[in-house]
Chain A
């Protein structure tokens, strides 16, 4: 097989560079074969042996399209340059190879699963990239900032090193902020038997605390019986899933659900995040042996859809358009919430302008899959790798992009800035809080 011609600007990542100097061939061979023999099975072999190397997956990938159809970014190439070699050489590969595997799997693939839709056999190429990530994680070959985030999950059970008192204090502060919209609003902590446990991802208390104030007001207007935990287990995000550290992933997910079980809630409503939905709905439960989440999990898109369609929240003044939207892969392509997203967008926007392609076929934000979490060293490549997303948004002529996902939000802000799109990036709740009707008896 011909070697792939790879042209990349050198990137310094201290963790990868350091790890590459200390890994031994014996370690690598042991881990590669352990993972392939004990953690994969018919699924991997079926995918590897079914692929006819047709390359149709390439046209699905935003990395490939944005880099002028550079074949080194094609999904099939990413497989060829990683897991195929490991299988062919039975794990006898060197540290430089494993380092390149991490660069491919952690920094050049968002495991967004768009390529699987374009494969004539439906091969889940992203699964194979996750196997590569697993091998890299067990060898500690994980980009520095992603690994640091995983360490945060492991030590604090949240993504952002938020300490227990900081979490509770932030909620109490944001309860007061929510009361700015609705004076009688309350953010009930540790309320056993509430209908809903609301969970968020680490960046909300750390950087985007106003979203907690918003939800406090929204819950009051919608008259939802809800609570939030004052303990670890509040963070529904899971970068350990994306580094390949599945033990930490499972511990985080287990605590999330056990917290909901302890509070005896009927369901968990989660904030606007895509990867967190994947981790909490699929990957975490599967590792734990649960067929489905032991407490039903509702993504914010479904929650807002229910509130609006049922009339629990009425829209007083639609946001002025044109406004477009980003379809987060993990809840749209992989969970089918596209129609609900469009319903709520039309409900709150005077002039909603859809993207093309859209819904399940939408392009990934290029930040998901843990790719934004690999941090500043890789940012330039990431933003260059999604030129087509910038072009797509530009065509809408919108002044605002709604992103019901934190990774999409951050990644698209980077694209807006780099490509000078002059657009605002907002979460859906930020539009809703301004558009919803606050009943007279709840008004300040």
Chain B
């Protein structure tokens, strides 16, 4: 995990960078990204015809430009990564220093929770792989494609949904025999499947699960290469229990309705028109999910019990307060995005709402909102403080007393720390 205790929680406000200067300094400036601690802001900048660099606060990544740069992402430990080309070949750059190996292509940068592991999907000589801290998987079979991959919090386990068998054009039988599998740290699972979806690793890194497709309309869950005995008309992505990784829960479809199943057994006996985004409370004692008890009537069900308030468009993923007592969700109703806690709508509707953060005791919910093209921080349904041209998600300090707010005002990027009690 990122150790945010070492961040500066004392300085009330600092002007980190005047990004207005970038516009006169460079031919073009792309959208900015900030480091997790808020101390750095970076943008890809165009410095000449077919020449790009990255501006970070008052500096750039050296004098030598790159042919292309994209996907700038800060690691949790504050290093800036980006994908770059030199002489038509691609690689990763970390704080301006490129990996030694070059690739036909590289994409989808991911990090371990502490940022020490940097990974990406790579392609070389037509073969796909995952490259982890500059070392590419040595896989016993040539991977034909990688659809996606996941990384455990400790960075020790990486698992990919990969095509392990070459498929001829329009080979329906070959496809149904299975050409996709899960590859863990370079080692494919023994079986191939028609399709694999919803790949996930438990928080302790010990267990890996995914949805698999057994036949045209037959789906199941496979955990550590062993499929559940039960099969369903459809499934969505499984989720591991946060403290007991032997337990896994997923939405399953039977007889035209969606149910919640744990380890193959239906645990919510009420069927729903739709059921998505099941989420465990931090201690794993409760489960919340977005459900539609009726068509176009969306709400949250906690342990199978739906809230009475419903919303007519959609719901995003619910989240629990740290103590597990409250559940917040972003809902859409009649064109407005709403923040809802335990079935109660907080404040007005907005053009956009970003995932909320709870205070440690759950009495405050803090989130970024957008209205009339400007961004602000809202707390329990009320906008607090200034509007920004750009704003990042507010971060609550580890002791729960302060909030870091990072935003751009009049082209200048500020990092602010405010007392939670003042919000």
Name A residues whose Cβ lies closer than 8 Å to a Cβ of B.
15, 38-39, 137-138, 140, 144-145, 147-148, 151, 154-157, 163-165, 168-169, 172, 184, 186, 188-193, 230-232, 245, 247, 250-251, 261, 264, 266, 288-292, 294
B295 touches A289 (CB 8 A): yes
Report Cα–Cα, A291/B169, bound state, in Å: 37
**Contacts A245-B217, A264-B354 hold; do A294 and B314 have CB atoms under 8 A apart?**
yes
B170 at the binding interface (Cβ < 8 Å) = yes
Among residues of B, the one whose C-beta sits closest to the C-beta of A266 is: B351
B121 touches A155 (CB 8 A): no
- Min CB distance, B406 to chain A, in Å? 15
Other A-B pairs beyond A230-B71, A264-B352, 12, CB < 8 Å? A148-B175, A154-B195, A155-B175, A155-B195, A165-B104, A230-B108, A232-B147, A245-B216, A290-B313, A291-B312, A292-B313, A294-B332
Instruction: Write 18 A-B pairs (CB below 8 A) sorted by A numbering.
Output: A15-B172, A39-B256, A138-B216, A148-B170, A148-B175, A155-B179, A172-B70, A186-B28, A189-B70, A191-B31, A193-B352, A232-B147, A245-B217, A247-B219, A250-B234, A264-B352, A289-B295, A291-B295
Chain B positions 21-78 with a Cβ under 8 Å from a chain A Cβ: 28, 30-31, 68, 70-71
* A164 surroundings in chain B (CB, below 8 A): 107-108, 121, 145-148
Report Cα–Cα, A97/B332, bound state, in Å: 46
Report Cα–Cα, A124/B145, bound state, in Å: 42
- Min CB distance, B376 to chain A, in Å? 14
Among residues of A, the one whose C-beta sits closest to the C-beta of B170 is: A148
B172 touches A147 (CB 8 A): yes
B316 touches A261 (CB 8 A): yes
- Min CB distance, B29 to chain A, in Å? 11
Chain B positions 233-263 with a Cβ under 8 Å from a chain A Cβ: 233-234, 253, 255-256
* B31 surroundings in chain A (CB, below 8 A): 188, 191-192
B273 at the binding interface (Cβ < 8 Å) = yes
B163 at the binding interface (Cβ < 8 Å) = yes
- Min CB distance, A172 to chain B, in Å? 7
* B234 surroundings in chain A (CB, below 8 A): 247, 250
* B194 surroundings in chain A (CB, below 8 A): 154
Interface residues on B, range: 35 or more
B71 touches A169 (CB 8 A): no
Among residues of A, the one whose C-beta sits closest to the C-beta of B104 is: A165
**Contacts A165-B107, A168-B107, A291-B312 hold; do A151 and B175 have CB atoms under 8 A apart?**
yes
* A245 surroundings in chain B (CB, below 8 A): 216-217
Task: Please indicate which of the listed interface residues A154, A169, A251, A289 has the most CB atoms of chain B within 10 Å of its own CB.
Answer: A289
A291 touches B313 (CB 8 A): yes
- Min CB distance, B292 to chain A, in Å? 4
B213 touches A154 (CB 8 A): yes
Among residues of B, the one whose C-beta sits closest to the C-beta of A264 is: B352
* B219 surroundings in chain A (CB, below 8 A): 247
Among residues of A, the one whose C-beta sits closest to the C-beta of B175 is: A151
A232 touches B148 (CB 8 A): yes
Report Cα–Cα, A291/B28, bound state, in Å: 41
Among residues of A, the one whose C-beta sits closest to the C-beta of B218 is: A247
Q: Which 3 A/B pairs are nearest by Cβ-Cβ distance?
A: A291-B296, A289-B274, A294-B314
Among residues of B, the one whose C-beta sits closest to the C-beta of A164 is: B107
Q: Which of B70, B148, B172 contacts A148 (CB 8 A)?
A: B172
B170 touches A144 (CB 8 A): yes
Chain B window 122-139, contacts with chain A (Cβ cutoff 8 Å), 1 for yes, 0 for no:
010000000000000000
- Min CB distance, B199 to chain A, in Å? 13
- Min CB distance, A193 to chain B, in Å? 7
B105 at the binding interface (Cβ < 8 Å) = yes
- Min CB distance, B208 to chain A, in Å? 20
* A140 surroundings in chain B (CB, below 8 A): 216
Q: Which of B28, B104, B296 contacts A290 (CB 8 A)?
A: B296
B197 at the binding interface (Cβ < 8 Å) = yes
